[in-house]
Amino acid sequence: MVTLTLVLVGLLLLLPLLLVFITALRSGLGPYLQALQLPDTQAAVRLSLLTVLIAVPLNTVFGVSAAWATAKFDFPGRSLLLTLIDLPLAISPVISGLVYVLLFGRQGWLGPWLEANDLKIIFAPAGIILATTFVTFAYVARELIPVMQAQGRDDEEAALTLGASGWQTFMRVTLPNIRWALLYGVIMCNARALGEFGAVSVVSGKIRGLTNTLPLHVEILYNEYQTVAAFAVASLLALFALLTLALKALIEARTGRAHT
């Protein structure tokens, strides 16, 4: 049983991970660093960072709001809202991009109006940010809702009775209570946002240096048979994935929480 597990984990998980780094460094450190310093790579890094820096905070604010409303209160339509929050998780990434093309694309519902006002969303960074936001929509909310529900509202009510304002109660009572779950959600949201491919690929148009995120840049390099460069950029993303796993394990150890 143990041997079988080690073989499975080795073949399915460890071997692919090793392949990324070995292929990236196949021609030595020089070409590896060179690939990372290409202007197109640098532009992809910048666009990916911009996307993450907008999409993750947006979904974090939403996640906290949605969790406050659904975990601390009961109201008609609550379970419908919970189902709708999960909806983006059940939708193919490609469809998550497609919906924005149909809305903002040249033939889309708002396309003519956007064009008349010289605004560009599809084949521009705005579309990439929107599609990424859609895909990672539920990540923070889903972590927070069960935790906040389990904590109930006693702590908050005590703080309010003692004279704290609503905002003080949130900052000094709720936020410390949910900080690990919040961090966990943000980390997972961040990992998915940085790595999203399908949704972004539909709305990006893949204009080099302008609308290429890191995963799209990997695809282009790979399709151009620039294998070392493709895996060099991929290794950046893999390193980030390893960092995500380490942080995740750290939070799990810290809080003694079960796996999700």
Partner 1 sequence: MTTLPSRRQARRHVLPGLPLTLGYATLYLSLIVLIPLAALILKAATLGADGFLDAVTSPRVLAALRVSFFTALAASLINVPIGLTIAWTLTRYRVPGRRLIDALIDLPFALPTAVAGITLTTLLAPNGWLGAPLAEAGIRVAYTPLGIIVALTFIGLPFVVRSLQPVLEDLGPEPEEAARSLGATPTQTFWRVTLPALYPALLSGFTLALARTVGEYGSVVFISGNLPFKTEIAPLLIVGKLEQYDYAGAAAVAVAMLVISVALLLAANTAQARLSRRGER
Among 50, 228, 241, 251, binds partner 1 (CB under 8 A): 241
Q: Select from 125, 127, 185, 215 the one that contacts partner 1 (CB under 8 A).
A: 215
> Distance between CA 205 and CA 195 in Å, rounded?
17
Residues from 186 through 205 that contact partner 1 (CB under 8 A):
188, 191, 194-198, 201-202
Nearest distance, CB of residue 223 and partner 1, angstroms = 9
CB of 118 to partner 1, least distance (A): 22
Least distance in angstroms from the C-beta of 231 to partner 1: 7
Which range, of 28-36, 38-46, 89-97, 113-121, touches partner 1 by CB under 8 A? 89-97
Distance separating alpha carbons of residues 131 and 200, to the nearest angstrom: 6
Q: Is residue 218 part of the contact set for partner 1 (CB under 8 A)?
A: yes
Residue 123 engages partner 1 in binding (rule: CB under 8 A) = no
- Tell me which of 50, 222, 228, 251 binds partner 1, using CB under 8 A: 222
209 binds partner 1, rule: CB under 8 A: no
For 175, the token pair is 């936020």
Q: Minimum distance from CB of 43 to partner 1 (Å)?
A: 17
